[in-house]
A = this chain, B = another copy of it.
Amino acid sequence: MKISSKVECGIISLVDICVYSNNSVVTVINISARQHISAKYLEQILPQLRQANIIRSVKGAKGGYTLTRPAEKITLYEVINALDRNVLGEVTFDNKEDSLIAGALSECLWSKMTEYLQSFTENVTLRDIADRYDKLSAGGGEPMYYI
């Protein structure tokens, strides 16, 4: 499965904001430095998350971003959808065949696939990712194998 870099960078930014905002805002430059993503690229991604009411922006000096809600109230469904309609939306084709077979395919396959993806991502929150990240950090970066 292919996910656009915009989606990945967007989610990473949100987790970064979630983890590093201590009753304050997080700036694009901060995220850029911590996550090694071009600031100019982030300036293009974050406004999309703002329009989707996932983050709130404060303009001007001392400005930056915060989450609009606690991380456990922000689902990955929202986030992914805000960044790229194609990932979790109905299956589409560049040139849709409108035949009975295409209809059968849609019913047996495509619609069930998207149905699952939607309900799955609706049940994963930003908190889940952040928690997992914390755990990985605590582990010293290296996953631990006990043989």
Contacts and interface: CB of A to CB of B under 8 A. Distances in A.
Contacts of A9: 97
Interface string A38-56: 0000000000000000000
A22 interface: no
B94 A1 contact: no
Given A107-B132, A124-B108, A99 B12 contact: yes
A120 B117 CA distance: 12
Q: How large is the interface on A (under 10, 10 to 19, 20 to 34, 35 or more residues)?
A: 35 or more
- For the residues of A in contact with B, the DSSP-based class is helix
Copies, count:
2
A24 interface: no
Nearest to A1: B91
A137 B8 contact: no
A107 to B, nearest CB: 6
A23 interface: no
Contacts of A3: 91-93, 110
A92 B7 CA distance: 12
Nearest to A91: B1
Given A1-B92, A102-B12, A117 B113 contact: yes
15 contacts: A1-B92, A1-B110, A2-B91, A8-B93, A8-B96, A8-B102, A9-B97, A15-B104, A100-B133, A100-B136, A103-B133, A104-B133, A105-B129, A108-B129, A116-B116
A101 B31 CA distance: 12
